[in-house]
Amino acid sequence: MSEVMRSSSVFESIRTPFHVTTADGVDLIGEVAAPIAPSKGAILCLHPLPTAGGMMDSHIYKKAANRLPAMTGITVVRFNTRGTSSEAGSSTGNFDNGNAEHFDVEAMLTYCFDTLKLENLWVVGWSFGTDLALQHAKDPRHKGLILLSPPLRTTTDEQLKYWNTDSRPIVALVPELDDYLKPDEARQRFAVVPTLKISAVEGAKHLWIGEPSVHRVLSEINSIVTGDNAPLPTEF
């Protein structure tokens, strides 16, 4: 019997907690949610600002882990950056406003490829996580970046211009009612990377609260990762 999608919906997956040690000795904690059937692709989730409550369980990422493995065959890898805590536990180290976090991103990408042996991996950043992705997710093995509510809080034009030397796709989902960077402003700020695709999302806000916003984000992620352009079902 199918279930109408709710905020609390959780579908079957193989969940595995993990620890990863960074090059500077920080212990990162996280979880892999993998499909029962063979994986069609994977996402590495870089969470919102920890000093504002962001963590691996921030709701979009928690719902991605609860739904995407069963619904789409996508493996979801979530973790807490240094100094960040969630129900799963705490990563050691201290928040460094995106600087020392480069060790975290690099260690997690290495873990995804060398240990988990993931294929068709995309890096998904949300808010603070988009700055981490743009600045630090340069491992040549991932397929591209998916940016949710990019504030461009710390990313400079020079750091953006790096992506003109890298042919991998970048897709930014920009909420119409974002608190930090609305679609028109985003088009101006991202103009230095002409190949970057901006998708304005009508009615959405920075935190993507509400099932319609969650549905749009998860549908877009599925489309980018698996190539299935149909919106996700609202019952499963």
Rounded CA-CA distance 131/128 in Å is 5
DSSP states along 110-168? HIIIIIS---SEEEEEETHHHHHHHHH---TTS--EEEES---SS--HHHHHGGGG--S
pLDDT at position 78 over 70: yes
DSSP secondary structure letter of residue 41: E
Check pLDDT > 80 for residue 2. no
Instruction: Please say whether the beta carbons of 76 and 42 come within 8 A.
Output: yes
133-171 confidence digits (pLDDT tens): 999 999 999 999 999 999 999 999 999 999 999 999 999
pLDDT band at 1 (very low <50, low <70, confident <90, very high): low
4 pLDDT band, cuts 50/70/90, is confident
pLDDT attached to residue 3: 79
Give the pLDDT confidence score for residue 200 in this predicted structure.
97
Q: What is the distance between the alpha carbons of residues 147 and 231, in angstroms, rounded to a whole number?
A: 19
Q: What is the pTM of this model?
A: 0.97
Give the DSSP letter of residue 39: P
pLDDT tens, position by position, 84-130: 999 999 999 999 999 999 999 999 999 999 999 999 999 999 999 99
Q: And the tokens for 212? A: 């319609």
Which domains does the chain show, CATH number per domain?
14-226 (3.40.50.1820)
Q: How many CB atoms lie within 10 A of CB 9?
A: 16
Q: Cα separation of 68 and 64, whole Å?
A: 5
